[in-house]
Chain A
Amino acid sequence: MTASATPCFATEGLTKRFPRVTALDDLTVAAGTGVTGLVGANGAGKSTLIKILLGLLPPTSGRASVLGLDTATQGLEIRRAVGYMPEHDCLPPDISATEFVVHMAQMSGLPRTAARERAADTLRHVGLDEERYRPMGGYSTGMRQRVKLAQALVHDPRLVFLDEPTNGLDPQGRDDMLALIRRVGTEFGIDVLVTSHLLGELERVCDHVIVIDGGRLLRSSAIREFTRAEQTIAVEVEEGQRRLAERLAALGETVAAQGRLLTVQVSADDPGRTHDAVRDAVCDLGLSLLRLEQRRGRIEDVFKEPVA
């Protein structure tokens, strides 16, 4: 993936103060093409940043641009070229997904016939079949998230802002949504800015991750740099946690105890070695294994590291 001349978006000393809280504090960051993840705890300023980038909220100070357009003066042009999937629910219950997405396409300036075609195409791409003719009031959370994504894509934007698209989804729904986001970024060729409070889920779909906390930039780097540090596996055994930890440490693995969980750092040069070592150690000690999983990188892990 090559970096284009104009970044997807860029901010310069962006600050937004509300009467009682500072949402963004001197944020300078830029994102290239592809899928960019924006990670932060709740209240870190993610949604505020998206509103500023859409040109809907004026910053207190600083500048921001999207696709080379200034958010302060060219909001309309920006909103013509981008799509937005809000975090909150935004679907009227008494109309069907088809009608709703057609209407939203028209609001983006598509003529009615083109809007109908695009809506049918887009709903198919997000995976909504026959149920798209039923009123949306009866949809599951997964279906609602798909419709929200469809309305953001229906006018074929160059860039989409997806605010917490996996919110409220079960693990299977999360996986489906993440796969869909990956497809939007690669197969559809639409640049994506996706927010989440879970770094672990973004590392699976993003090319680049930006971490903000309290409105400040904590880190902005390509995903490879995150995953290298994040590779850990979690092990939980019924009894003999300490014996297992000692055994693994003796084998040269980096082990830490977190309550009932042992987290083992996966060796960067030979990932298979760590997994084998855990398996063998559990077998040799005759322990009953309750859990063995790839640890999701968590945002706290990034917070512990020094800011790059």
Chain B
Amino acid sequence: MTEPTAVIHDIGYRHYDGVRLGRGRATLALGVQSLRGVFGFGRTTRAKIMPLLLMAIMLMPTVVSIGVMALAKQFIMPYPGYAVFMQAVIAVFLAAQSPYLVAPDLRFRVLPLYLSRPLTVTDYVVAKLAALAVALFGLLAVPITIQFVGELLVDLPGPPHTADYLGALGGAVLYAVLLSSVGIALASFTPRRGLGVAVVIAFYMFTAAVSTLFYAVLSSTGRDDVAPWALILNPFFLVDTVQSALFGTAPINDEGYPPGIAACLILLAVIALAVTGVLLRYRKAAS
């Protein structure tokens, strides 16, 4: 029999006189918590399945590509085309995760609690956008980085595709910013997560279908001058155009793209429109 050595005392209410960090740190904490949540960390096991499964699918071409490089000494998977090649997977990830970031706070009315603290609407929106953008960047950058490391280790004949790799990383930043702002903008208009998922995936399928359809119609009727414009209705081709204009990577599409400068402006306009939409939506939700 051991004697109890510890005694619990009721010491009453204690005031907190430690450090109080500023708005920036609170925003950072919200962003980090959101980013962890996108990949299911700190959530239920069920919430981890989808993001980790999609991440695994994203890595599959990398594994195949490294295998082919090692065994057949052939380079089959160019870095700049990775995102366009895997666009369906990225779109599903975006659709599955952007509503998670914004819908519960609207549905369960947690937003007023954030705003009753030293956190502004803009801080909240910035934290959520940044979390999704970092997640998407990771989703794209991790596979191509692993492939690049693999390429260096396998040591193929000829120089490594360093410029392509760096260009693709720059492109990944563009994809992350564009897709996260569009995803959050679409998802934040409904407090219902299921509906948000449907809206985001429908947006992707609609733009992809319209883009392909218009391109086919325009090129078959001999309007080859305007046909490339139809392509950039698809956000993935839009970023690919900008990526090849800015970083000099080879476009995934052989038929040619509209002028790079126009695509850059369109990309900026879409991002600005989406972010403004989100801010306006939350200004309204806050009052």
Contact = CB atoms under 8 A, between A and B. Distances in A.
Most-contacted residue by chain B among A54, A84, A106, A114 (CB, 10 A) = A106
A189 interface: yes
B20 A107 contact: no
B279 to A, nearest CB: 16
B23 A76 contact: yes
Given A94-B44, A103-B33, A187-B13, A109 B22 contact: yes
A82 B23 CA distance: 15
- Grouping DSSP codes into helix (H, G, I), strand (E, B) and loop, the B interface class, with mixed when no group exceeds half, is loop
Most-contacted residue by chain A among B42, B113, B114, B117 (CB, 10 A) = B117
Contacts of B26: 106-109
Interface string A58-79: 0000000000000000001101
Most-contacted residue by chain A among B29, B33, B44 (CB, 10 A) = B29
Contacts of A84: 112-113, 116
Interface in B96-125: 104-105, 108-110, 112-120
13 contacts: A56-B116, A77-B118, A80-B20, A86-B113, A89-B108, A90-B112, A107-B113, A108-B26, A108-B117, A109-B20, A114-B16, A118-B16, A187-B12
A109 B30 contact: no
A155 B21 contact: no
Given A84-B113, A84-B116, A89-B108, A110 B12 contact: no
Given A106-B26, A106-B29, A188-B13, A76 B118 contact: yes
Interface in A67-125: 76-77, 79-80, 82-84, 86, 88-95, 99, 103-104, 106-112, 114, 118, 121, 125
Given A56-B116, A57-B287, A109-B25, A99 B42 contact: yes
Contacts, number: 99
Contacts of B9: none
Interface residues of A, number: 39
Interface in B18-36: 18-23, 25-26, 29-30, 33
A104 B113 contact: yes
B151 to A, nearest CB: 39
Nearest to B29: A106
Contacts of A33: none
B117 A92 contact: no
B20 A110 contact: yes
Contact of B114 (A77, A99, A107): A107
Contacts of B42: 99
Nearest to B15: A156
Contacts of A108: 20, 26, 117-118
Question: What are the 6 closest A-B residue pairs judged by CB atoms, nearest first?
Answer: A156-B16, A84-B116, A109-B21, A106-B29, A188-B13, A109-B20
A114 B108 contact: no
B120 to A, nearest CB: 8
B118 A90 contact: no
A102 to B, nearest CB: 10
Nearest to A94: B44
A266 B12 CA distance: 38
Given A54-B116, A56-B115, A107 B16 contact: no
Given A93-B108, A103-B33, A151 B113 contact: yes
B156 interface: no
Most-contacted residue by chain B among A83, A86, A187 (CB, 10 A) = A86
Given A79-B117, A84-B116, A103-B33, A110 B109 contact: no
Nearest to B108: A92
B14 interface: yes
A215 to B, nearest CB: 18
Contacts of A89: 108-109
Given A56-B116, A107-B30, A156-B15, A90 B109 contact: yes
Nearest to A78: B118
Contacts of A90: 108-110, 112-113
Contacts of B114: 107
B280 interface: no
Contacts of A189: 13, 15
A79 B25 CA distance: 15
A110 B19 CA distance: 7
Contacts of A86: 109, 112-113, 116
B86 interface: no
Contacts of A156: 15-16
